[in-house]
Amino acid sequence: MAKIAVLGHGVVGSGVVELCHKNHAGIVKKAGQEVEVKRILDLREFPDLPYADKFTKNYDDILNDDEISVVVEVMGGLNPAYEYVKAALNKKKSVVTSNKELVAAKGAELLAVAKENNVNFFFEASVGGGIPIIRPLHQCLAANEIKEIAGILNGTTNFILTKMIREQMSFEDALKLAQQLGYAERNPAADVEGADACRKICILASLAYGMHVYPENVYTEGITKITLEDVAYADSWGGVIKLIGRAKALDDGKLLVMVHPAFISSDSQLAGIDDVFNGIMVRGDATGDVVFYGKGAGKLPTASAVVADVIDVIKATKTNPTLTWVDTHENVVVDHMQTSVAFYIRCVAADGAFAEKLAEQCFGKVQMLSRPDMPREEIAFVTPELSEQKVYDSIQYLKENNVDVLSAIRVLDY
Ligand code: HSE
């Protein structure tokens, strides 16, 4: 009999308990033994639940219970999750978490603590919600050199962008709906400003390249500046705007890791990923492109990944050797200004013809774009691939010459 404890009875925690009950027979069969949720930690009271007697407010009731062999941390946030998880591992309890903030900040350390104690620290649910991506990356694709990873990693922002584009819903209404559906973070700024996608690409990059990638070293831009005008220009260019997290190994051993909105061609496999769905493209040297697709947020999709990890840790007899990376204690991420990419740029100027001439002077041969009802003083274009530093300097130059740059969005070729 395996007894587990769940830390946090929010959207994901209640989903874990529900799934353990709903699919109990199958879970027991797959785990090879009886599985019981023995304790649930939450500061709130849930007197009406049929399992109200399992709740505690005191973590020591779980930590000091030798019958509990698996701790499921679904509280979110860094503290006290970090202290609780580390203490559980040091008590030789395996830990399963959906907490991307924790894994992105402390993954290397907690994996090492798990190894010292011959237990496991699993986090399939931390990236892609219900999509299997962590296990495929370190197991199924283990024979590959991972060239690149690019994905739509945040369900809330993808949901908002889809509602804005398809239904002309306002940003605020779409965000409210995402919160009601349990997709958004407690503080939705983490979704819309890109921090959540950043944590997820850091986890994937750390796993793929074996070195801890810290979120604070990753250039991150969210979706708050995207306008319906940009959406219309993306459409006339032949694509859509998506929030993309990407990681790539460079020849000098450094990594390019960034999060930002991007124009993506309608032909791309990532272009048709809408609503709360996530899509992650992994480019292996042997496999070529492999794309993982599914619900990236929500109660039961995320609980599905958590419970699968629980089944795996129950069956494990030692620490998984492939789920690992090290902390190099240095910044392994290249400065994005040194990298090259094409940009879509939208600007206004009193003299449109002058602005167009300046644009060509700054960026070289540009592809002019149009949209229905575009004002006379507006111009929009796509630059050739240039260093980000050159694009940044050129935007400054345009501004100094009374050309007001309203939007600058990278154009990616996936
Ligand atoms: N807020 C996150 C998202 C939840 O919208 O993707 C899943 O990690």
Q: What is the pLDDT of residues 310-357, one digit of tens each?
A: 999 999 999 999 999 999 889 999 999 999 999 999 999 988 888 889
pLDDT greater than 90 at residue 216? yes
The response to whether residue 156 sits with its C-beta less than 6 Å from ligand 1 reads yes
Domain spanning 2-130+300-315, CATH architecture: 3-Layer(aba) Sandwich (3.40)
Averaged pLDDT, 252-265: 97
The CATH number for 339-412, chosen from 3.40.30, 3.30.428, 1.10.357, 3.30.70, is 3.30.70
pLDDT of residue 254: 95
DSSP 336: G
Averaged pLDDT, 229-233: 93
Q: Which of 100, 200, 248, 295 is catalytic?
A: 200
Beta strand extents in 23-97 (DSSP E only): 35-41, 55-56, 68-73, 94-97
Q: Ligand 1 pocket test: which of 154, 177, 276 has the largest number of ligand atoms within 8 Å of its C-beta?
A: 154
Averaged pLDDT, 236-251: 96
Averaged pLDDT, 367-385: 95
pLDDT greater than 90 at residue 289? yes
At the fourth CATH level, which superfamily is domain 142-295? Dihydrodipicolinate Reductase; domain 2 (3.30.360.10)
pLDDT greater than 90 at residue 66? yes
Residues in Cβ contact with 223 at an 8 Å cutoff, skipping those fewer than 6 apart? 157, 160, 161, 192, 194, 243, 261
Q: Tens of pLDDT along 121-158? A: 999 999 999 999 999 999 999 999 999 999 999 999 99
pLDDT greater than 90 at residue 387? yes
Domain with CATH 3.40.50.720 in the chain: 2-130+300-315
Domain with CATH 3.30.70 in the chain: 339-412
Could you tell me which of 303, 347, 166, 190 has the C-alpha nearest to residue 241?
A: 166
Chain mean pLDDT for the chain: 96
Q: Which atom of ligand 1 is least distant from the CA of 153? A: 6
Domain with CATH 3.30.360.10 in the chain: 142-295
pLDDT of residue 173: 93
Averaged pLDDT, 362-391: 96
The response to whether residue 193 sits with its C-beta less than 6 Å from ligand 1 reads no
